[in-house]
């Protein structure tokens, strides 16, 4: 998955990039991991090429990382819901209490996920792999 962006800061091979989200990014269920506050999307990436502030680049996230994060966010949440429901239902045989317990398990998992999300800020999921030529009228007509 590639997204266009502009380099804001450079520190060795680590760069801060402001992304220009595409349609794919806007519909991604894991977009809160990239920008939890919902504002501008500024990410930290590892650069494979020399860049300077202001450079237009392509930022890449590997498909495997997207799948891993998606499973962690959605798959484990579903497991927590089902585990909470069936474990409590086996004990109480009351579907209402089981539903409430399932929601409780899900809430606990979401709190754990928030803590994990704080650690993800330290990990670099993104790579800058190539420069991007911004499209303008001049580049399109030449």
Residue 101 has pLDDT above 90, yes or no: yes
pLDDT of residue 142: 47
Cα separation, 110 vs 119, whole angstroms: 14
5 in the same domain as 41: yes
pLDDT of residue 140: 44
In eight-state DSSP terms, residue 30 is: T
Domain holding 19, by residue range, is 1-62+125-142
58 in the same domain as 1: yes
Residue 119, strand partner residues:
none
Return the CATH number at 20: 2.40.50.140
Residue of 67, 74, 60 whose CA lies nearest to 126:
60
Cα separation, 12 vs 111, whole angstroms: 34
24 in the same domain as 76: no
| Segment 24-62, tens digit of pLDDT | 666 776 666 655 666 677 888 888 889 999 999 988 877
13 in the same domain as 52: yes
80 in the same domain as 52: no
pTM of the full predicted structure?
0.58
How many domains are there within the chain?
A: 2
58 in the same domain as 13: yes
State the pLDDT confidence band at 139, using cuts at 50, 70 and 90: very low
């Amino acid at each position: 998955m590639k997204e266009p962006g502009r380099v804001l800061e450079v520190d060795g091979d680590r760069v801060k990039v402001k992304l220009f989200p595409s349609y794919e990014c806007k519909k991604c269920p894991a977009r809160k991991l990239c920008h939890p506050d919902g504002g501008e999307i500024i990410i930290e990436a590892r650069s494979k090429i020399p860049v300077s502030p202001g450079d237009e680049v392509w930022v890449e996230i590997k498909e495997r990382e997207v799948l891993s994060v998606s499973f962690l966010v959605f798959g484990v949440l579903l497991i927590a819901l089902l585990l909470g429901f069936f474990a409590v239902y086996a004990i109480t045989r009351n579907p209402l209490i089981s539903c409430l317990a399932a929601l409780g398990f899900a809430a606990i998992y979401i709190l754990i996920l928030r803590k994990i999300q704080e650690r993800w800020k330290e990990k670099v999921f993104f790579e800058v792999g190539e420069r991007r030529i911004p499209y303008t009228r001049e580049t399109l007509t030449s």
